[in-house]
Structure 1
Amino acid sequence: MLNAQAASALRLRIAREVRGWLGVPVQRWRQLTQAGFFLLFVFAPVFDIFRLDLNLKHFILFGFDWTLGLDDFTAGKASAGEAALNLVLRGFLPLVAVVGTLIYVSWKWGRLYCGWLCPHFSVVETINRTLRRAIGKQSLWDKKPQPARNPDGSETPRDAIWWFAVIPLVVGFAGLWAVVLLTYLLPPAEIYGNLWNGTLTRNQAIFLGAATLAFFVEFMFARHLFCRYACAVGLFQSLAWMGNDKAMVVGFKREHAKDCASCYSACDHVCPMRLNPRNVKRMMFACVQCGQCVDACDHTQEGNPHGTLLNWVHDLSAESEAAFNVRAARTIPIAQAPVQAMRKEN
């Protein structure tokens, strides 16, 4: 019996250690995709991969002018039918393809763009980690400091000296975002050249000053609120995800909820969106599918013979998670959860 339990525990431990792809942990993959997309975000206008040039009054895509093809129509060189066809082929269909792809991915897997690619969210997480070192909290609005202990057993002690890193970091990101956004609207060579030579035009200087101030306030005080309620891309992803009960979601083994008593709510503390991962799907509207709560549970429940309590689920298991009643989830005491689960099954 003991050998069987030991073998089972060993299998669980091996499974947790290899959670990822090609031997690379999930979070490392996520860091790589975030870093890669952030660099793409910064350099896309520089290399004319994608930008809107207000001087030329049209988009540039992979070095080519991307227009709606209406110039010939206004000049009397094309018919109304040709102009309409250009609108469909160059405007409507590309827009439908991009939006449709985003909605489908979100409908099936949730806010993957937010958690794995979004250059704004990578800034959010970077500030979270640095702020935690300064005040022990990932947000100024967290009610209590989180434990110094990390799920893997290491510690992140708080020290006020980290404020000397937090403020410059927020200012730096705010300024970078302001400059990058301006390069999506005006020729990057002009903007970076004017910055280097100190010859910004009045309008450019006003834009950069106002945008930097706005981003500083948002990054410092409202970055999570923006991701939850103000970002249109995130909102539409969440709506698509909530519309599919079988979409991938983090599932919680409520029948073993009493095992959480041995933990310090590690999954709650690591969530970069400041959510409670053990909650039901409808209360996880802003989940970005980063998987940090799953990894945290892997570490804290390493010796649990029942296995980790948080796992990615989909299809029928996800449907059950989506259908779980919010009030019922809140009224099941951790110590009584197995009893309630048995009654439900009977």
Structure 2
Amino acid sequence: MPDATPEHTLLTPGPTPIHPRAMQALTRPMLGHMDPEVFALNREIQADLRVMYGTEESTFTALLAGTGSLGMEASFANLVEAGDEVLVCANGSFGRRMAEMAARYGARVRLVTAPLGEAINPDAVAAHLDGVRMVAVVHGETSTGVLNPVPEIARLVRQSGALLTVDAVTTAGMEPFHMAEWGVDFAYTGAQKCLSAPPGLAPVAISERAFARFAARRAPTPLWYCDFEGLRDYWEDHSYHHTVPVNLHYALHAALRAALDEGLENRQRRVQEVGAAIQTALAPLGFTSYVRRPEDRLPTVLALRLPEGFDDAGVRTALRERHISVTGGLGPTAGLIWRLGLMGETARPAPYLTLMHALEDILGERGLAGRFQDALAPVPA
């Protein structure tokens, strides 16, 4: 018999290791997507998503049958029409993706930018809100490890009357997110990020203001697959729209319930403690934070500037040979930074202790594992 596949240590900004409860749920026998048991499951998912996103009790939540990028596209497909003024906050790859999608749906896109490694300035947003029908912002910019000030931006947007779309892909389920309190109209994430469920679902939350904008459209939504009306018909009225991936729903339900059982504040604390220990362990080698201001650092994607002369590609290849995946920079930051994932099941001491031991061997540096362990507060392995 062939040797068993060795366990892989996944330290990327997504996907994350599947939660054990989600893995077990994946293996249950198949049911039809119109089965009453599936509809009951979906109602539980909707209720749990309202808790995760911090919504009103009546807010519509659902799962899109696609990754987080489908959540992004659904926002523009349903809420933007040709000629609409849309303000996009872009300080990394995923903000730029928002701008591209909005333009494809006919929006007249305005950009508010910030240098890589810096957060969007709310004052810059305020200066460009006149006549804007939608503002779109990435809460946690995965490509640079920056946390954008969504609460401050949301306050300005609500005063203007525009809708607000928020990419919560690296925050919802691990970092504070208060959709109702902040005034967010459309939020989305990916199942494979903070929840540690399998890829293939995009949990979304849609405000009544967003539905009112959708209802006032002059033309049908060009993206049939994620049309808000068809989505609500299936999730609320149990009418057939398309075949949903039932077992992914069960896995997402299990992972989401595990997150809520642990407690969102406990998960946030776990991220902070493991992230601080990583930085303590690697600092003597010359690793430094890529994001200068502490308040702008995204806890769930630790962006570390590499030491001068560090062999990025060589070290990551050596780690891969040890079945450890670490992600480097994206685009302009390639070869400049590492982006270490601290979402869901990755934000545990055990996988990063594995990394420290491996780096000791590869770099010939001793003491990494010991510094990491000494820096840890008592968090579950």
TM-score normalised by the chain length of structure 1? 0.25
Give the structure with the higher percent helix: 1
TM-score normalised by the chain length of structure 2? 0.23
Higher relative contact order, structure no. (Cα contacts within 8 Å, ≥ 6 residues apart): 2
Q: Which has the larger radius of gyration?
A: 1
Give the structure with the higher percent strand: 2
